[in-house]
Structure 1
Amino acid sequence: MTVYVDADACPVKAEALRVAERHGAEVLYVANGGLRPVDHPLARMVYVPEGPDEADKWIAERAGPGDVVITADIPLAAKAVAAGARVLNHTGEAFTKANIGQKLATRDLMADLRAADPFRQGGGKGFGKADRSRFLDALERELSAATRR
C-alpha cells in the first residue's frame, strides 16, 4: 500500500504522512522540485523532470489497486481511478468510478467558460481548517478500506 501525493501545490503533505504512518503505508511525494526533503522512514521524495504533467504521468504509471492517490488534478484522478487506486483531493473529496465522469465534464465546462471570459477574476475558494479536517477523516477511511482489501 502506497500513498502517492501530487505534491507541487498540495496543502496536506504533512497530514498525509501522519495518517499513513498509523497504517504503515509508504508515502511518495512526487514533484518537479522545490520541495524540502522529508526525514521520515516511510516518506520518500520523487523528483520528476521539469515539464507539464510530469508528476501526474509518473503517478499514473504506478498507482493501482490498494494505493491511495492525493491530487487536485482531475485528469490524473481519472487515470488513477481507472487503474483501481483510491483517490482523494486535498479537501477529502473522493474521486470514484461513479463520479469521475461528471468531474471531468465539469472541469472541461469550466475551462471553456474561463476561456470565453478572459477578464473573469478569482473563482477559487480558500483552504481552511474544516477542509483539513475532512481530508484527515477521508484519508483515514481510505487507508483503512485499502488495508481490508
Structure 2
Amino acid sequence: MNSQTLFVDADSCPVIKEIVEIASKFSIEAVFVASYAHMKNDLQGQNWVFVDSHKEAVDLYLMNHVKKGDFAVTQDIGLASTLIAKGVYAISPRGNLFEEKDIQTALDLRYLSARARRQGSYGKGPKPFTEKDREKFIKELSMLLSNFKICSRNHN
C-alpha cells in the first residue's frame, strides 16, 4: 500500500497543534512547509521543511512534492485548485474542503476581490479565526482522514 502524507502550508496556519494531534491519531505523516521568514524555535518534534521567503516558494514546494491521494491544509485558493487537479484532498484551516465543483467559483471571487482592491475598494479583510472555525477544522479533517482510512482498509 502506498502511504499518504498530510502536507501543511504552515505560513500563518492557526491549527498546527490540531494537525499534529490528528495526524498522530491517524498515523499519517504530517509535513509542515514554511518560509524561513516564519521559522519557529519550537517545532514540536514534527517534520518541518523551510524554503526561501519569496512569495511562491511554499506553494512550489508543495506542488512538487505532493502525490495523488495525499492531503493538504492551505488557505490559498489558487494552491488548492492546483493540488486538487493533482488528485490531492485539500482543506482550509477553517475546515472547508476544497472541491473541484466549487473551486472555479472560489477563484473567480478571489479575482474579483483582488480587482476591487486594486481599484481602491478595501473591504474588511478575512473574518477573524474563531474557536468555532477550529472545531469545524478538527471535525472535518478527522472525518476526511477516517473516510480515507475506511476506504483503504476495504481495498486491502
TM-score (norm 1): 0.91
Alignment pair present for 1:106 and 2:143: no
Match of 1:55 among 31, 54, 58: 58
Greater relative CO, 1 or 2 (CA 8 Å, sep 6+): 1
| Counterpart position of 1:96 | 99
Runs of 4+ in 1 over 6 A off after TM superposition: none
Query: 2:18 aligned with 1:15, yes or no?
Result: yes
Shift of 1:46: 0.3
CA distance, structure 2, for counterparts of residue 78 and residue 145 of structure 1: 22
Match of 1:86 in 2: 89
Separation (CA, whole Å) in 2 of partners of 1:7 and 1:98: 26
Unaligned runs of 5+ in 1: none
Q: Could you report, residue by residue, the CA deviation over 1:71-111 in whole angstroms, capped at 9, with x for unpaired residues?
A: 01111101110010100111000101111111111110110
* Paired residues, number: 146
Give distance in 2, aligned partners of 1:39 and 1:127: 22
Q: 1:65 to 1:146 in 2, by over 3 A?
A: farther
Q: Is the 8 A contact 1:37 1:45 kept in 2?
A: no
Q: What is the aligned partner in structure 2 of residue 127 from structure 1?
A: 129
Which amino acid in 2 is paired with 1:109? Answer: L
1:38 equivalent among 15, 38, 43: 43
Q: Secondary structure at the match of 1:98?
A: helix
The DSSP-based 3-state class of the residue aligned with 1:64 is coil
2:148 maps to what in 1?
146
The answer to whether residue 67 in structure 2 is matched with residue 67 in structure 1 is no
My pick for the range that moved more, 60-69 or 127-136, is 60-69
Root mean square deviation, CA, Å: 1.4
Residue 37 of structure 1 deviates from its aligned partner by 4.5
Is the contact made by 1:56 and 1:76 (CA closer than 8 Å) also made in structure 2? yes
> Please, which runs of 5 or more residues in structure 2 have no aligned partner?
none
Q: Is the 8 A contact 1:68 1:142 kept in 2?
A: no
Secondary structure at the residue paired with 1:31?
A: strand
Query: Is contact 1:77-1:95 (8 Å) kept?
Result: yes
